[in-house]
């Protein structure tokens, strides 16, 4: 018997969508290629560098050689596990700036302006921050806590931002994003609060949600309507029927791949792989974008960094404390201080983000630099470069080809150089300078534009925020893939609900906006009126036209 809905992917948007549909009495089947998320590598926040580098939990994708980055192939982690990428991400909680969503609406995503989506953020959040805030939710499934900023360096970074002339913001997810402050994280009672914990498990308890483990091969489309999903399971290939609709929530990499395997995409590309065309949508797989970042690293004057635990006994101590008490350093992602600033006067809202980390180490946790140190992850938020996800073959088992075309727009280089110079300026402020022994990378010798460009080519890495490959827009927009109700244009009974639909990447980490898409998709699918709009305007620097800070 067919479920009302079949959702491909149990991740950020898919789990939220399944929960809301089940809550409304609908039956849902979720197709998920990955396995269980139970285990300390996922559930312990401090172990975040492990799951995204484990074949058990990650699709193992990498980009094609990137021409502007010395032809390096960059890793593209995507969660292959219950909870999807919310089970392998860095747990940094950033809604995005209000202007991001206003831009979406201007691009044809009617009903997705900040005033429209702010109430959905409140519906999904249970914020455990200091004091009450009518900008934040207090009874939603997603428990969000404010970082405690346990290390003196975390406070020094925020104070250095203030000394450099930037504001300090009490809540970058509230009225004012611009400035320096404490991060929010999706951590609850010491555990990673993924959508598997927040949404999926409560949804399963309703008895109306079923999970089928297998690889989705294609959407079954009959007479122009999606009727189910063909899935390869251990028992063989089967079709899971959908009485109402099919929803792809398979990530900005796998969703366009599935659309194209199902005959929905650029006609010539489909024909080149022998795939029968169902709908010619040239935007499928296009508009790929991401955040690129570098680590500006410093050797520390004082032995107060996390490097003191960078040994087997130290890691065992943190692990044991977390296992028995769910407290200590294992209960934090360690990204506890942040900053959002503008790179130049004339830019109305932040286009640079900082993540501060009290150790100098690679994201994959495989190399620490020069003993005690700290680093600032930083990069531009609104690159103008665009890439694409395309089919490698017509075989569902084969990974797609992923080309970001990083740094392919001249403006990216100008902004990235500004990023590096502004970061260095912050490190020279008294509050942080007293902790700096020397700059590890880029290193004091690299000062010219050419030298900084070389550093970027050698060291820039993805911040793991790919999106945009099934862009939302007006139904008559030839490059839009879904309309503002997330319905695939040209195919009945089929929607997309994940970060693929973003017209443009949001300002900051993309997990919260991805969940937002699942929350709002549910109301569209259930035929509900949208939540009442919130007409409050966010804080914008009053002198942004003339002043950079």
In this structure, how many other beta carbons lie within 10 angstroms of the beta carbon of residue 202? 16
Name the strand (E) or helix (H) holding 16: helix 12-23
41-50, 68-77, 185-194: the lowest-pLDDT one: 41-50
The span from the CA of 341 to the CA of 318, in Å, is 34
The span from the CA of 143 to the CA of 440, in Å, is 37
110-119, 311-320, 483-492: the lowest-pLDDT one: 311-320
The span from the CA of 187 to the CA of 191, in Å, is 5
Mean pLDDT rounded to a whole number for the chain = 96
Write down the pLDDT at residue 363. Answer: 60
Q: Give pLDDT tens digits for 246-287.
A: 999 999 999 999 999 999 999 999 999 999 999 999 999 999
Write down the pLDDT at residue 404. Answer: 98
Q: Are 84 and 251 in contact (CB under 8 A)?
A: yes
Name residues whose C-beta falls within 8 Å of residue 453's C-beta, 6 or more positions apart in sequence.
Answer: 413, 417
* pTM over 0.85, yes/no: yes
Q: Are 442 and 297 in contact (CB under 8 A)?
A: no
Q: Does the structure show a pLDDT above 70 at 367? A: no
Residue 442, preceding bond cis, omega within 30 degrees?
A: yes
CATH of domain 148-182+292-380+408-459: 3.30.410.40
User: Residue 549 corresponds to which tokens in the numbers above?
Assistant: 């800070």
Q: Which of 188, 355, 377, 465 is catalytic?
A: 465
Closest Cα partner for 374 from 257, 296, 275, 289? 296
Confidence of residue 366 (pLDDT cuts 50, 70, 90): low
CA distances from 171 to 95, 115, 129, 349, 462 (A): 11, 18, 9, 15, 26
User: Residue 379 corresponds to which tokens in the numbers above?
Assistant: 């990069």
Which residue(s) pair with 532 in the sheet?
none
Please check whether the two domains, 1-137+210-288+386-399+465-537 and 148-182+292-380+408-459, share a CATH topology: no
CA distances from 98 to 27, 249, 538 (A): 34, 24, 7
Q: Are 385 and 367 in contact (CB under 8 A)?
A: no
Closest Cα partner for 29 from 208, 201, 197, 194? 208
Every domain of the chain and the residues it spans:
1-137+210-288+386-399+465-537, 148-182+292-380+408-459
Q: Does the structure show a pLDDT above 70 at 364? A: no
> Which CATH architecture describes the domain 1-137+210-288+386-399+465-537?
3-Layer(bba) Sandwich (3.50)
Confidence of residue 368 (pLDDT cuts 50, 70, 90): low
User: Residue 294 corresponds to which tokens in the numbers above?
Assistant: 């570098």
Name the strand (E) or helix (H) holding 212: strand 209-213
Please give the full DSSP string across 355-413, using - where no structure is assigned. Answer: EEESS-B-TTSS-B-SSSEEEEEEEESS----BEEE-S-S-TTSPPEEE--TT-SHHHH
Q: Does the structure show a pLDDT above 70 at 365? A: no
The span from the CA of 303 to the CA of 524, in Å, is 54
Name residues whose C-beta falls within 8 Å of residue 473's C-beta, 6 or more positions apart in sequence.
Answer: 107, 108, 109, 479, 480, 481, 482, 483, 484, 503
User: Residue 258 corresponds to which tokens in the numbers above?
Assistant: 């599935």
The span from the CA of 236 to the CA of 165, in Å, is 62
Residue where the block lists tokens 């690129």:
292
The DSSP code for 218 is: E
Closest Cα partner for 332 from 47, 40, 54, 37? 47
Q: Does the structure show a pLDDT above 90 at 52? A: no
The span from the CA of 527 to the CA of 369, in Å, is 54
Counting residues of the chain whose pLDDT is more than 90, the rounded percentage is: 95
Q: Does the structure show a pLDDT above 80 at 502? A: yes
Q: Is 465 a catalytic residue?
A: yes
């Amino acid at each position: 018997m067919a479920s009302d809905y079949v959702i491909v992917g149990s991740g950020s948007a898919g789990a939220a969508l399944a929960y809301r549909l089940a809550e409304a009495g609908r039956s849902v089947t979720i197709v998920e290629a990955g396995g269980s998320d139970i285990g300390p590598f996922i559930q312990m926040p401090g172990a975040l560098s492990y799951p995204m580098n484990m074949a058990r939990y990650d699709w193992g994708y990498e980009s094609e050689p990137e021409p502007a980055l010395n032809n390096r192939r960059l890793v593209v982690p995507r969660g292959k596990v219950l909870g999807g990428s919310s089970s392998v991400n860095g747990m940094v909680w950033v809604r995005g700036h209000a202007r991001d969503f206003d831009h979406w609406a201007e691009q044809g995503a009617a009903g997705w302006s900040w005033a429209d989506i702010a109430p959905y953020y409140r519906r999904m959040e249970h914020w455990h921050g200091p004091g009450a805030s009518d900008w934040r939710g207090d009874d939603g499934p997603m428990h969000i806590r404010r970082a405690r900023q346990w290390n003196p360096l975390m406070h020094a970074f925020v104070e250095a931002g203030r000394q450099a002339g930037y504001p300090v913001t009490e809540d970058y997810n509230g009225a004012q994003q611009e400035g320096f402050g404490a991060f929010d994280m999706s951590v609850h009672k010491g555990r990673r609060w993924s959508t598997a914990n927040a949404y999926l498990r409560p949804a399963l308890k309703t008895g109306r949600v079923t999970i089928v483990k297998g690889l989705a091969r294609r959407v079954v489309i009959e007479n122009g309507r999606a009727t189910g999903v063909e899935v390869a399971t251990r028992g063989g290939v089967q079709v899971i029927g959908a009485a109402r609709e099919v929803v792809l929530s398979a990530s900005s990499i796998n969703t366009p791949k599935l659309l194209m395997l199902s005959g929905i995409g650029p006609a010539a590309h489909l024909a080149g792989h022998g795939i029968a065309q169902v709908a010619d949508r040239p935007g499928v797989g296009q508009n790929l974008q991401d955040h690129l970042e570098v680590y500006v690293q410093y050797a520390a004057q004082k032995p107060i960094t996390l490097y003191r635990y960078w040994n087997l006994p130290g890691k065992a101590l943190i692990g044991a404390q977390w296992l028995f008490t769910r407290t200590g350093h294992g209960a934090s992602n360690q990204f506890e201080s942040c900053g959002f600033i503008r790179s130049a006067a004339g830019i109305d809202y932040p286009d640079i983000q900082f993540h501060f980390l009290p150790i100098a180490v690679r994201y994959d946790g495989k190399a620490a630099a020069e003993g005690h140190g700290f680093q600032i992850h930083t990069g531009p938020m609104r690159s103008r470069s665009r890439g694409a996800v395309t089919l490698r073959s017509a075989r569902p088992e084969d990974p797609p080809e992923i080309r970001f075309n990083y740094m392919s727009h001249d403006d990216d280089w100008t902004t990235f150089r500004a990023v590096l110079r502004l970061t260095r300026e912050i490190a020279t402020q008294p509050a942080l300078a007293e902790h700096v022994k020397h700059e590890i990378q880029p290193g004091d010798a690299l000062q010219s534009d050419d030298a900084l460009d070389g550093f970027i080519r050698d060291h820039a890495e993805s911040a793991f925020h790919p999106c945009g490959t099934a862009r939302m827009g007006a139904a008559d927009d030839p490059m839009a893939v879904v309309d503002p109700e997330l319905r695939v244009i040209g195919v009945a009974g089929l929607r997309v609900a994940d970060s693929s639909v973003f017209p443009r990447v949001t300002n900051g980490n993309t997990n919260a906006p991805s969940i937002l898409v699942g929350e709002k998709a549910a109301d569209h699918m259930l035929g509900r009126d949208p939540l009442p709009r919130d007409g409050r305007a966010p804080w914008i620097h009053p002198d942004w036209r003339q002043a950079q800070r």
